[in-house]
Amino acid sequence: MEVKLDKKYPLDVDATRAWALLTDLKATANCMPGAEITEQLSETSFKGGVKVKVGPAVAQFGGTVDVIESVPAERKMVLRGKGADKGGSSASMDLTAIITADPANPAHCVLNGQAAVIVNGKFAQFGGRLMVQVSDMLLAQFVENFRQTALTLPSAEGSPAATVSAHTAESSSAPAAAPIAPVVAREINGLAIFWSLVKSWFGGLFGKKA
């Protein structure tokens, strides 16, 4: 099944640092919960994996990530990821990420992501109805990790930015102090996803309509 995502995440990080992190594919991958780059195959091609744990079930996707296009002038990156797990699921994603500066506030930027995710096999069969919500969750976790990691990079002015408040609507539980080392969830936490789904579901039922 195919899920199309088109998201904008305002970040309290300046565009230069965000772009610097985005072009470091290994570091960016590390921001994705459960993901890591294990091997660089060429200048633009990487091998890696994602581990997803939902309750007792663990899916381990192995695959490749290719940089299709990288345009520094537009701070635009086009990636294609493909992977499969041994238990009979496969997934691919075409992702276009663009970092635009926030004209009102040079210390802030917006991370624009457009993704087309295709999932096949058991994940599509069982998880189909949760795909959009789970993707939203994953991206929210990713963006939070991305933001925190980017904040640790040296800024153009030579000092880490001071503001740490979260601007993404989904995550409000960011730690109060900027960490030195990136705070990265190493595994996708099924219980957290579940809880967040329940919250957003009830939120959808009673909150948003009003």
Partner 1 sequence: MNAPVQTAEARELALAGMGASRLRKEDARFIQGKGNYVDDIKMPGMLHMDIVRSPIAHGRIVKINKEAALAIPGVHAVLTADDLKPLKLHWMPTLAGDVAAVLADEKVHFQMQEVAIVIADDRYIAADAVEAVEVEYEELPVVMDPYAALLPGAPVIRDDLAGKTEGAHGKRDHHNHIFTWDAGDKAAADAAFDKAEVTVSQHMYYPRVHPCPLETCGCVASFDPIKGDLTTFITSQAPHIVRTVVSMLSGIPESKVRIVSPDIGGGFGNKVPIYPGYVCAIVSSIVLGRPVKWVEDRIENISSTGFARDYHMDGELAATADGKITGLRVNVVADHGAFDACADPTKFPAGMFHIVSGSYDIPAAHASVKGVYTNKAPGGVAYRCSFRVTEAVYLIERMVDVLAQKLGMDKAEIRAKNFVKKEQFPYTSAFGFEYDSGDYQTALDKVLEAVDYKGLRAEQAVKRADPTSPTLMGIGLVTFTEVVGAGPSKMCDILGVGMFDSCEIRIHPTGSAIARMGTISQGQGHQTTYAQIIATELGIPSEVIQVEEGDTSTAPYGLGTYGSRSTPVAGAAIALAARKIHAKARKIAAHMLEVNENDLDWEVDRFKVKGDESKFKTMADVAWQAYHQPPDGLEPGLEAVHYYDPPNFTFPFGIYLCVVDIDRATGETKVRRFYALDDCGTRINPMIIEGQIHGGLTEGFAVAMGQQMPFDAQGNLLGNTLMDYFLPTFVETPHWETDHTVTPSPHHPLGAKGVAESPHVGSIPTFTSAVVDAFSHLGVTHLDMPHNAFRTWKALRKHGAAL
Q: Which residues bind partner 1 (CB under 8 A)?
A: 1-2, 84, 86-90, 118-122, 124-126, 128-129
Calpha distance 25→22 (Å, rounded): 6
Look up tokens 């195919």; give the residue: 2
CB nearer to partner 1: give 89 or 196. Answer: 89
Q: Which is nearer to partner 1, 113 or 121 (CB)?
A: 121
Nearer to partner 1, 129 or 208 (CB): 129
Quote the distance between the C-alpha of residue 132 and its chain's center: 14
Residue among 7 and 82 whose Cβ is closer to partner 1:
82
For 195, residues 6+ apart whose C-beta sits below 8 A from its C-beta are: none
By CB atoms closer than 10 A (0-12, 13-18, 19+), residue 155 is middle
Q: How far is the CB of 38 from partner 1 (least distance, A)?
A: 18
Minimal distance, residue 45 CB to partner 1, in Å: 18
**How would you label 70-108 residue by residue, b for 16+ Cβ within 10 Å and e otherwise?**
eeeeebbbbbbbebbbeeebbbbbbbbbbbebbeeeebb
Least Cβ distance, residue 84 to partner 1 (angstroms) = 8
Dihedral of CA 18/22/26/29: which sign?
positive
- Give the nearer residue to partner 1 in terms of CB position, either 57 or 156: 57
> Nearer Cβ to partner 1, position 89 or 141?
89
CB of 26 to partner 1, least distance (A): 26
Closest approach, Cβ 129 to partner 1, in A, equals: 8
Region of 34 (left: φ > 0; alpha: ψ -120 to 50; beta: rest) is: left
DSSP category for residue 155: P
In angstroms, what is the minimal distance from the CB of 61 to partner 1? 12
